[in-house]
Structure 1
């Protein structure tokens, strides 16, 4: 309840502060101060995160983003995605850059309340140490200019926690399309949201794609290329490929649901 009040206060004062910052400073006489005597201009504030208009529930993502933006060490939120969307509850992935450099991924658990979505918990990815001597497959993924990894996901790869099947699949997909990976292991819930089934992510057997060739998966204009990438991913040996569309209409390899309306999930059997 305290966090909700803080966020509401932040939302109410943001525009007036921006107006104050943009107004010219004046001397007591009313004239504009000499630029030579003026204090250095403050660094511009990062833009607050705004969900894509195509989101199935932008309010849920906005609530999760505001909770992370309120953390003292966060500079800005860069991306959100559903870990699970089953109203009246949801789990939201939130990627953020930190004030001191670098960044991390958060799992924000929210639930519906009379006034909208309420933040129940915010959990950051746990740090993992890198391998001292990573193998060639790991080095290939980390150095690829066609695969963009989130901060926590890069750490997962460097630590040797991601299966070779996933690493090879990402490289194969990236041969045809530039892909932005949203999550591998760190911060992903252990169980498939709303069930007691263990997710493939914590075991390093899955990856999610949030953007393709610079366009968000949730963007309706990217629907054609999203379907292409889903088929390519399935061809790399994935046992399950989820996304905005069910490409085999209830078959066993592809699936779709509200949770996967904003990303492509590529999973492998252990």
Structure 2
């Protein structure tokens, strides 16, 4: 639990169906401030996801955000009904992530008739959390009669002895007024503090990448079209907004040669400051990206070969990153490589320009 340069902090996929929020009613459920990246200045979804223990061949079809599905023969299509995300092996403080995911499920998924702030407040209260958190849902709770949610990954934005940030990376499906289904997604920075018997959620910060740029850079189109780069909805929207530096795009394309990389966070949804400090993170500036899975193997999974992660981290440095963090301690010049509790579940790749 340390802090350091760049995004060095003191610091999977699962899915929630529309009925997951209702189940929670009966079942229970990277910076020290409440600031999260929304839309600075100067960046698309084709996510593929799996639990931390997922094998490389287990993948999920790509979904394009906000693309409605047309109902057939007057019968509305059902919303996807995925299972609740659970932390896998190798997690540090797994219940912290579970707690964050439960809340995001309660706010972002609901059965028919479960829409609205008051219904969300009831679902949150059923988790033993402050009902007022429902007032912070923002884009996580769009106006819709029904919604379901998939958590692609839950990674630490930061973890300290008494506080944490969990970045809950989601796909979301909402029922439209004509009965069709629209697909999209969001990344939520959930802040927590230690409490007994379970950690308490103190804030919810939904991300917002802003509108797509009128003329995205050619490199953006290349990254979005590259099948070996898996992007969740919010990260893909970051690229389309034109706010991601060329150094990030070039590194993604270079790493996609020898690896398949599953990106979790680029800019939106990440804390503005390195967790536990007042130092700006490279993420909101569009100068960093996180990878939670390499060649279909989750970084957090103890079964993932350490040599694969080390090789990926070294290649990220060779691609120009000045600040590479992950679960493996690597000797290097200066502070180019680092490891800490926050980065036990992903590889951080940052750039200074």
TM-score range, shorter chain: 0.7 to 0.9
Could you say if the C-alpha distance between residues 12 and 255 of structure 1 is closer, same or farther in structure 2, counting changes exceeding 3 Å?
closer
Count of residue pairs the alignment pairs up: 238
Tell me how far apart the structure 2 counterparts of residues 259 and 214 of structure 1 sit (CA, whole Å): 21
Q: Which has the higher contact order (CA 8 A, sep 6+)?
A: 2
- Show the counterpart of 2:272: 190
TM-score (norm 1): 0.83
Contiguous gaps of at least 5 residues in structure 1: 1-5, 14-41
Could you tell me how far 1:97 is from its partner in structure 2?
1.7
For structure 2, the 5+ residue unaligned runs are: 1-21, 30-77, 110-146, 175-182
Displacement of 1:128 in angstroms is: 1.2
CA drift of 1:249 comes to 6.8
Indicate yes or no: 2:320 matched with 1:228.
no
Counterpart of 1:159 (choices 241, 262, 269) is 241
What SS does structure 1 have at the residue aligned with 2:204?
A: strand
Decide whether the 8 Å contact of 2:80 with 2:173 is kept in 1. no
* Distance across 1 between alignment mates of 2:352 and 2:296: 29
Q: 2:331 aligns with which of 224, 230, 248?
A: 248
Structure 1: distance between partners of 2:93 and 2:208: 28
- Structure number with the higher strand fraction is 1
Aligned residue for 2:235, secondary structure, equals helix
| Range with greater deviation from structure 2 (200-209 or 121-130) | 121-130
SS of equivalent residue, structure 2 residue 352: coil
Are 2:93 and 1:57 aligned?
yes
The residue aligned with 1:129 is: 211
Highest CA radius of gyration, 1 or 2?
1
Using the alignment, how far apart are the partners of 2:26 and 2:229 within structure 1? 35
Q: Alignment partner of 1:70: what SS?
A: helix
Q: Structure 1: which 4+ aligned runs deviate by more than 6 Å?
A: none
Instruction: Tell me by how many angstroms 1:191 deviates.
Output: 0.2
Q: Which residue of 2 aligns with 1:171?
A: 253
